[in-house]
Amino acid sequence: MKRINILLSFLLMITVFSFGQFKLPSLPYEYGALEPFIDSTTMRIHHTAHHAAYVNNLNKAVEKYPQYNKLDITELLRKINTLPKDIQTAVRNNGGGHYNHTFFWEIMAPAGTTTMSPALEKALVKQFGSVDKFREEFEKAATGRFGSGWVWLMQKSDGTLYIDSTPNQDNMLMPFNTMKGKPILALDVWEHAYYLKYQSKRAAYVKAFWNVVNWNKVSELAGL
């Protein structure tokens, strides 16, 4: 374990001092802050290895096309279909991975530190019948996503809430995706997000996730 921690610290140091258009964001909490629901080793590997790899590979893909140097990640993903053919797949996979994970870190927080706003609760009840029903539908989408991917709680421009999922690192910014609106909650259901602690028990990981949702942030994103 000591060797693993030393290696991960080294990987993080390399990433922090790496050069490129896109940067690995710092987590808004310590790696162990989501224990016991998401373990510190998983969080450290997820951030310093998986997310860092997406950032580094994305930078490698776009560095030969300086005309895209000033685009942020959302603009780049929206323009995937107009990018040079030789980098479209790399931007889709690694740019998607960078955006999705950056969003994911922000909508989690240590257990018991945040509260769902009354307005968000009211919106969930209106859309799904109850908060429990919403959770059931979200869990169903998360466990039903075949292979790797993400589950999202989306908000349309008229305030309507709905649940959807995407494969791999796809998301709603990509022009070939039919999802409408903006994300206000997301869950990573790639095995690397939970396998060390939960092994093949994705359903247990999904249920544990509710303990670390940053409801303050979700409410803020929803404007509720």
Query: Last residue of some domain: 106, 133, 154?
Result: 106
Query: Last residue of some domain: 67, 86, 106?
Result: 106
Structural domains counted in the chain = 2
113 domain residue, yes or no? no
Residues 6+ apart with CB under 8 A from 71: 79
For residues 91 and 137, membership in a common domain is answered with: no
Tell me the pLDDT tens digit for each residue of 62-106: 998 999 988 999 999 999 999 999 999 999 999 999 999 999 999
Residue 165: helix, strand or coil by DSSP? strand
C-alpha–C-alpha distance, residues 71 and 115, integer Å: 35
Percent of the chain residues past pLDDT 90, beyond the cut: 88
CATH number for position 60: 1.10.287.990
Query: Last residue of some domain: 106, 130, 159?
Result: 106
For residues 161 and 212, membership in a common domain is answered with: yes
Q: Confidence band (pLDDT; 50, 70, 90) for 196?
A: very high
DSSP string, 181-224: SEEEEEEE-SGGGTHHHHTT-HHHHHHHHGGGB-HHHHHHHHT-
Residue count (the chain): 224
Tokens matching residue 29: 């909490």
How confident is the model at residue 21, as a pLDDT?
A: 86
Tell me the pLDDT tens digit for each residue of 132-176: 999 999 999 999 999 999 999 999 999 999 999 999 999 999 999
Specify the pairing of strand 161-167 against strand 149-155: antiparallel
Tell me the pLDDT tens digit for each residue of 122-142: 999 999 999 999 999 999 999
Q: Is the pLDDT of residue 194 over 50?
A: yes
Q: With the C-alpha atoms ordered 210, 214, 215, 221, is the resulting torsion angle positive or negative?
A: negative
Residue range 35-39: mean pLDDT, rounded: 98
Q: Confidence band (pLDDT; 50, 70, 90) for 3?
A: low
Q: Is the pLDDT of residue 203 over 70?
A: yes
For residues 7 and 102, membership in a common domain is answered with: yes
For residues 93 and 145, membership in a common domain is answered with: no
166 domain residue, yes or no? yes
Domain ranges, residue 134: 118-222
How confident is the model at residue 20, as a pLDDT?
A: 73
